[in-house]
Amino acid sequence: MSDHATVYATDPRPLSAAELASAAPDARVSERREGLLRRPSGSFEVAWPTARVTITPMPADDIAAHLASFCAAMPEMRERLARVRSVLGCVI
């Protein structure tokens, strides 16, 4: 069974496999690929012998609308969410 989490980050830099490998040196890090041409999907898999996390960055063009709907539902979070520059969906 999988669990889901979302990371709201203030750092706008794109996530990279090298950065993830540096942060999790005991894990196997791979960029997920899709389709017949096996193009990069933008998602990463970080795997240890007993756990696995798939991380999918939200496309930059979708973040503003996502945060606006979040602020509409939780206006008390508006100030914190104004600093968010990237959103990472995680499946654990």
Domain limits, the chain:
4-91
Of 50, 43, 48, the closest CA to residue 14 belongs to 43
pLDDT recorded at residue 41: 64
pLDDT, one tens digit for every residue, the chain (92 residues): 899 999 999 998 888 999 999 999 999 999 887 765 566 568 999 999 999 999 999 988 899 999 999 899 999 999 999 999 999 999 99
Q: How many helices (H) and strands (E) does the chain have?
A: 3, 5
Token duo for residue 48: 């240890």
Q: What is the pTM of this model?
A: 0.84
